[in-house]
A and B are shown apart, each in its own frame.
Chain A
Amino acid sequence: MSEHITEIVIFTILFLVVSGMGFVAARWRAPKDMAHLDEWGLGGRSFGGWITWFLVGGDLYTAYTFVAVPALVFGAGAAGFFAVPYTVIIYPMFFLILIRLWSVSHRHGFVTPADFVRTRFDSPTLALLVAITGIVATMPYIALQLVGIEAVLKTMGVTGESAIARHTPIIIAFAILAAYTYQSGLRAPALIAFVKDTLIYIVILVAVIYLPLKLGGWGGIFDAADKKFAGTPVPTDGIILNANNQLQYITLALGSALALFLYPHSITGVLASRNRNVIKRNMSALPAYSFLLGLLALLGYAAIASGVKPLAGATPGTPDNNTIVPLLFDIQFPAWFAGVAFAAIGIGALVPAAIMSIAAANLFTRNIYKEYLKRDATNAQQATVSKIASLVVKFGAVLFIVFLNPQYAIDLQLIGGIIILQTAPSVALGLYTRWLHRGGLIAGWVAGMAIGMWMLYQIPNPATKRAHFGSSAFPLSDFGFDTKKTIYVGFVAVLVNLVVAIIVTLILRAAKTPAGVDGTTNDDYFADEGDPRLEQARTTPDTIGSAT
């Protein structure tokens, strides 16, 4: 422990500074009345370009991403680099689709994607499914942020042997996080994101200049990786893709991009911005983070060249590849800089964890509590319920990590990406068309979930000696095709979902089943800052005058 003392001191100081900011954030851009879900849960829907850039950037590129993507590149090579095309294609998609969600939410006061689905398809059941999917997909994602912090703590040697000693630092960190999120809401992660991202940018830029100087240039680093992969028996690794994993690479990038903007926390970040132009401008500015992520991914190769050996995982006999980036910093940099890097990752976990817990709490409040438990809940009551729910969500994530093997969190995150994709027909397509019947959307959701779970269950992972839920790469040979190609499970599941939704829609239409009343008008999808808010979320088209 003593050899890491400098790192621990710097980590602790930065962590405390940021925690202080979290509490002060309640007074930052403070409204007259904080007892409203728009204030606590969406920062007053008032964030401009810079804040949105830091907030959404800090939200989408999580500590887990920063730890897991290099770990993937370290283990599998080029296949792990999918994070770059994934985070390139997402912004043009956001640009067209999420802007409509922002407008319709601004007009109707929607806080969650499920709010939109409820009004658009006139179906509380479908909204409930979307809300539950969002909560279930978000919970393991929060738990994974803890895995990110834990990778750092493990490297600093502050994690003991017993279950309690191992988790005490994390429990303290999350208790502080829970307290200031409770008090400040979305303003806390928005303010902290400035520190987090500044630290991350500095650390990565220094690393990508300094490490090649020590390790024989980028050419030498890639050669070292190439040599390692050539020596392994695994056929799918290497510094470029091969014939069998290209389809996986493409479908994983596309599927992950679709999933990312359906995640409740991404939508929360976007809805908090002030107007349409803030979002559109950010779509050109956010790729700066993709550049950073690409460089970071390559640290996986730097770790190979520097001969990093990952620490032992939770399952005896298996390596924990998530520790390679912290170890790389520990080995190659002076202790004080490693401390800064560790703090960047640790704080990096807090921003998304806070936003995710707020998003999950909003889903519970709006689409379960208000819909089923207390229909006449006032704005102040909703804000209170959401604050308490955010505590429960974080408590759940900590229990998850303390009492279950962290591997379950990773498995569930894998599942989370696939199940959140099943809300795509309702949320993403729903922004464009109401052609799909609410019954068809429900049937499609059920079918997509079922096939997605079945496919994941079929996939083993030889590296961690697991028979099921080994990865998201499904061998097409299991469908009876004579090939070694693999495909991303979520992609297949969402296609099945869509086909079932279309077929059931056709049947329900033939049977003349009522499709409910659309609570939105075409003009709502183009509303902007300054347009009047409709006080009643549920209105029929003919009661709304055309906005000017």
Chain B
Amino acid sequence: MAEPAEPVPSAQAAPAATRSDRSPWNWLLLIPIVVPLVTPFYNFVSPRVLGFPAFYWIQFLFILLGVVTTTIVYQMTKKRSVVSRHE
């Protein structure tokens, strides 16, 4: 999937008209999907931050992780689609 939008060799539509949202950047989205599901990463009480056990503040940080990755992917793929529109 890492190859950018190669036209599939088949009897389908002409490659020039084929749009795609494939991008290597999309793989980045796996991080905020997988990391919050690995409980051994954060299932501790200490260290506490501002009284919050690690279990809680680390999971609050995952929210930030999700925001950062989706923002990066949006910004990077947005440019790509503009370029391919002008082709």
Contact = CB atoms under 8 A, between A and B. Distances in A.
Interface of A: 78, 81, 84-85, 88-89, 91-93, 95-96, 99, 212, 217-222, 239-241, 246, 249-250, 253-254, 277, 280-281, 283-285, 287, 290-291, 294, 298, 521-523, 526, 546-548
Interface in B36-86: 36-37, 39-40, 43-45, 48, 50-53, 55-56, 59-60, 62-63, 65-67, 69-71, 73-74, 78
A239 B70 CA distance: 30
A69 to B, nearest CB: 13
A270 to B, nearest CB: 15
B67 A287 contact: yes
Q: What DSSP secondary structure best describes chain A's contact surface?
A: helix
A85 B59 contact: yes
A81 to B, nearest CB: 7
B48 A240 contact: no
Interface residues of B, number: 40
Nearest to B66: A88
A250 B43 CA distance: 12
Given A218-B51, A219-B51, A546-B14, A84 B60 contact: yes
Given A212-B51, A240-B44, 12 more contacts: A91-B70, A92-B32, A92-B33, A92-B70, A218-B52, A240-B43, A241-B39, A241-B55, A254-B37, A280-B74, A283-B74, A546-B18
Q: What DSSP secondary structure best describes chain B's contact surface?
A: helix
Contacts, number: 120
Given A95-B70, A281-B74, A294 B63 contact: yes
B72 to A, nearest CB: 9
Contacts of B56: 81, 222, 294, 298
B74 A88 contact: no
A291 B40 CA distance: 22
Given A89-B32, A95-B29, A522-B18, A287 B63 contact: yes
A85 B36 contact: yes
A89 B37 contact: yes
Given A81-B56, A298-B56, A523-B18, A250 B39 contact: yes
The 5 closest A-B pairs by CB, nearest first: A219-B51, A218-B51, A546-B17, A85-B36, A526-B19
B70 A88 contact: no
A3 to B, nearest CB: 33
B59 A81 contact: yes
Contact of A99 (B21, B37, B40, B53): B21
Contact of A222 (B26, B36, B52, B63): B52
